[in-house]
Chains A and B, each alone.
Chain A
Amino acid sequence: MPIQSKAVGLPLSRVEGPLKVTGGARYAAEYFQPGMLFGVVVPATIAAGQIASIDVSAAERFAGVVKIFTHENRPSTAYRDSKWKDQVALPGHPFRPLESDRILFDGQPVALVVAESFEAARDAATLVRVHYLPEESHTDLMRAIHTSYCPPIPRAKEMMPPPPRGNAQAAFDRATNRISADYRMDGEHHNPMELFATTVLLGDDGTLTIHDKTQGSQNSQDYVCNVFGLATETVVVRNAYVGGAFGQALRPKYQLFFAVMASLDLKRSMKVEMSRREMFYLTWRPSSFQTVSLAADREGHLQAIRHHAVHATSRYEDYQENVANWSGLAYRCDNVELSYEIVKLDVSTPGDMRAPGAATGVTALEAAMDELAYEVGIDPLELRLRNFVHRDQNQDKDLTSKALHACYREGAARFGWAGRSPEPGSMRDGVDLVGWGMATGLWEASMSPAEAKVQYCANGTVVVSAAASDIGTGTYTILGQIAAECFDLQIGDVTVRLGDSTLPKTGVEGGSWTAASSGSAVQAAAKAVIATLLKHAGELHNSPLARASADEVEVAEGRLVLEANHQVGVAISEIMATAGLSSIEESAEVGPDKALARKFAAYTHSAVFVEVKVDSELGVIRVTRVVSAVAAGRILNPKTARSQILGGIVMGLGMALHEEGMIDHRTGRIVNHNLAEYHIPAHADVEDLQVIFVDEDDDKASPIGVKGLGEIGIVGVAAAISNAIFHATGKRVRSFPITIDKILESEIRQ
């Protein structure tokens, strides 16, 4: 590696920035073709039951309408479930749009209206008359909780709780200090700002070029090919720019199915864009109920941890996420019992939403830790320090690294934690009660298989390509930085191509693994290019590098040189000219290191410190200050990395105070399916946010030392806010979001 990096580690601006700020970056719905058709979905208005009849006659007569698809006339598609399972499908039966007259969830699409204009499709859709035979629906997690069960087919082995260790019950009973509390969370909706959309451009030769809002172009491509029986070569899926996703676009959405179905049936190019309302009907963070019991000795050393977690799933698939296991590995404790169950409801299948499982489970654990700190009578940060653990006790493995001490130290110093007066309600600012709270965050640092191609051109420019996605995470920029570093170039000399199913194979963008995985693949491919350069250099007459091996050389200032002595080397232009090459292209594939994974577990960590001000008369809560100190291995780009954490904090703020999917349980219908009634944080809600990246060297989590940042920013935030609210008001609200009514209600009850 060059000593003075021109790229990696520098706070470079996003390479696609100029396109994004001028409207030039095109998202899924923003491709055009004369004569293209538009589809609009009619959502069901019951949560469970059957369609008795659909009357499309008025809609069909509407000027501009081309065809209306319902379950009665839907073109035939794949029969077997396996064909409908995408790369990240869940145990169960994947949803098939317009498959039958059964209604499984509120908002399920019951018709697709296709017209010559968007307006005609939209207006005609209101004329479709559906008669339902509704059945009783069950959507209230708390009322159905007695039906919870252990998922018979685990989504992944790691998501299942580890066997109990020690004897948590006995240790809990014996302990001097203990707390036990229930935590409730309502469902949340991702609501990326871009609406789900798919544009299908039909080629003269029958091939489909599909612009889809997805976190994985190849996942969408597979799905389309399997469901419609198409050959892979005839379908290209692109997602060059994705207007946010946060997990909602991991699995193919029905607008993809509809756009392709109608395009094939009508032999026309198609565009189908969801409404904001439809965005609420699928893939949500499930409502959950958790019980956490903690016991400690008088000094605060944990004696027992029990964590039981239950969340919702649909009738047709078993959505699963790792909620409880965090409690077995966050702190040192020898008596641990974790359990996890799900409940079937008449809802659409939930899905991964930013830090799935951890956002939920760590919130409960960290709120409970705060309760324990008060029970024992020590500072909440001190409680965490006393129970620090350097090992993953769940898996009985060493950790690749854990610079969490530094997060605690640097975060507390920046925040001024030492100035906290412990007594709740003891800090004031005029009529405002001031509260300071903190929490720990953790998330797994993982790698997934990824390929990348690197092309070095004789003019000293580089092209990187991979079917990875940049969903706002900065992938274009960091992959460009890695390539620039390998060839000692400026980032402007590198072009990065992503978001195209024809590019080297990459899984979906999720789980915070893209930087580590695709980044390592780019580095490996660049090294392969350098090895090829060396081979050609060795063929030069009197080559100074004749005896050098690939790991002894690097690129510096346009020359292939000995790492140990840059004087010894050959100009790359000379190597390529002599070999008669205009470019060299190599691919590489990386994946998790299984041998390492048997011995080590890898996690990112954070310490979150929060100040809230609660109006003592009105109960209005404002988050006035957040410091998040993060240990995530090597930071490729401090500017884009910081933004990822800021985004996580903001979403955590929404989780703590605003976000609440409201279902009318009498009808099973979502009632606040718009951005005026489902509140996400706005400018006015977000005040002073500070991000610290602590130094953390990790040579095992990934070949490039990166651990990933997409999720860690949100983990712990909601807990830190609720803990700060307790510190401000002396009230424990254990039901999220913590809205004003809950603050006032708990006051009245006292």
Chain B
Amino acid sequence: MDIGSRNDAVPLCSTAFVINGQQFTLELHPWVTLLDLLRGALELSGTKKGCDHGQCGACTVLIDGERINACLKLAVSLDGARITTIEGLGSPESLHPMQKAFIEHDAFQCGYCTPGQICSAIGLVSEGRVHSRADIRELMSGNLCRCGAYTNIADAIEDVMGQGRNQIREAAE
């Protein structure tokens, strides 16, 4: 079982997708993950690697609006997809409401899990499944934070959801 020569044997795959509104058509090896592509050739290092095993959520991005662990996605499988990374959500000058709320609630310390938490939180809100703070905790549990900013993250998410519909608070009452 010699995989030593596989690089030569396997052809590059032409893959086209949109990342943060920009169209890319790339010639990719089939074994490159979306995470390594982002953090490597595309230099979009806002998406983090915390485990490379789908166990920490640091690499969470939005693919067609759905939150996905980029380390578990082979880039070539994303032909035609619309990908949004943390860089596509806002900039320091014009922050997404979720980004603003994270700053306001001090929902991070080292900041390493933060892009994943924010992408996950935005995906969570659009899923429309959250009816209580306990739901937030449960449905955000794929995103680990070793700095322990969990309660502040939940505050930030509640805040953003409240800005829209006050629905969490109502459900809690």
A residues adjacent to B (C-beta < 8 A): 13-14, 16-27, 29-30, 32, 58-59, 61-64, 117-120, 123-124, 127, 190-195, 241-246, 273, 275-276, 471-474, 639-640, 642-644, 646-651, 674-676, 680-684, 686-689
Contact = CB atoms under 8 A, between A and B. Distances in A.
Contacts of B108: 14, 17, 20-21, 472
A676 B58 CA distance: 14
Nearest to A38: B40
A193 B56 contact: yes
Contacts of B87: 22-24
A675 B115 contact: no
Nearest to B56: A675
B109 A643 contact: yes
B104 interface: yes
A473 B106 CA distance: 11
Contacts of B56: 193, 276, 675
A232 to B, nearest CB: 28
* Residues of B in contact with A, size category: 35 or more
A275 B56 CA distance: 13
Contact of A58 (B2, B99, B112, B113): B2
Contacts of B104: 13
A651 B141 contact: no
B138 to A, nearest CB: 5
B92 A647 contact: no
B115 A23 contact: yes
Central interface residue in B3, B89, B143, by most chain A CB within 10 Å: B3
Contacts of A639: 106
Given A639-B106, A675-B55, A683 B4 contact: no
Given A683-B141, A683-B150, A21 B118 contact: yes
B49 A195 contact: yes
B37 to A, nearest CB: 10
A686 B148 contact: yes
A193 B7 contact: no
A241 B111 contact: yes
Contacts of A474: 109
B144 A680 contact: yes
B92 A276 contact: no
B138 A14 contact: no
Contacts of A191: 146
A58 B2 CA distance: 8
Contacts of B52: 275-276
Given A32-B43, A246-B146, A276-B52, A193 B112 contact: yes
A650 B147 CA distance: 8
A20 B107 CA distance: 11
B109 to A, nearest CB: 3
Nearest to B33: A119
B126 interface: no
Nearest to B88: A23
Interface of B: 2-8, 29, 31-32, 36, 39-40, 43-53, 55-56, 58, 85-87, 89-92, 95, 99, 102-104, 106, 108-115, 118, 136-138, 140-154
B89 A22 contact: yes
Given A193-B48, A676-B55, A643 B106 contact: yes
Top 6 A-B pairs ranked by shortest CB distance? A23-B46, A650-B148, A243-B112, A472-B110, A20-B111, A63-B7
A680 B58 CA distance: 14
Contact of B110 (A61, A124, A192): A192
B148 A13 contact: no
A652 B18 CA distance: 43
A680 to B, nearest CB: 6
B137 A687 contact: yes
Chain B facing A: main interface SS: loop
11 contacts: A22-B89, A62-B7, A195-B50, A472-B108, A472-B111, A473-B109, A650-B148, A682-B141, A683-B141, A683-B153, A688-B151
A689 B108 CA distance: 16
Contacts of B31: 119, 123
B4 A58 contact: yes
Contact of B29 (A25, A119, A683): A119
A24 B46 contact: yes
Nearest to A244: B110
Contacts of B89: 22
Contacts of B29: 119
Given A18-B92, A192-B146, A681-B148, A242 B136 contact: no
Contacts of A192: 110, 112, 146
A648 B109 CA distance: 12
A269 to B, nearest CB: 14
Given A18-B95, A23-B47, A683-B150, A276 B5 contact: no
Contacts of A684: 137-138, 141
A193 B113 contact: yes
B44 A29 contact: no
Contacts of A644: 109
B151 A646 contact: yes
Contact of A23 (B3, B44, B110): B44
A642 B103 contact: no
Contacts of A124: 4
B103 A13 contact: yes
Nearest to B115: A23
A476 to B, nearest CB: 11
A21 B5 contact: no
A681 B113 CA distance: 14
B113 to A, nearest CB: 5
B141 to A, nearest CB: 4
A642 B31 CA distance: 43
B7 A127 contact: no
B45 A676 contact: no
Given A119-B36, A273-B49, A276-B52, 4 more contacts: A22-B86, A192-B146, A650-B150, A681-B148
B148 A648 contact: yes
A475 B134 CA distance: 32
A474 B39 CA distance: 26
A59 B7 CA distance: 13
Nearest to B111: A20
A169 to B, nearest CB: 41
A191 B144 CA distance: 11
A643 B152 contact: yes
Contacts of A686: 137, 148, 150-151
A716 to B, nearest CB: 16
Given A119-B36, A193-B144, A194-B50, A471 B110 contact: yes
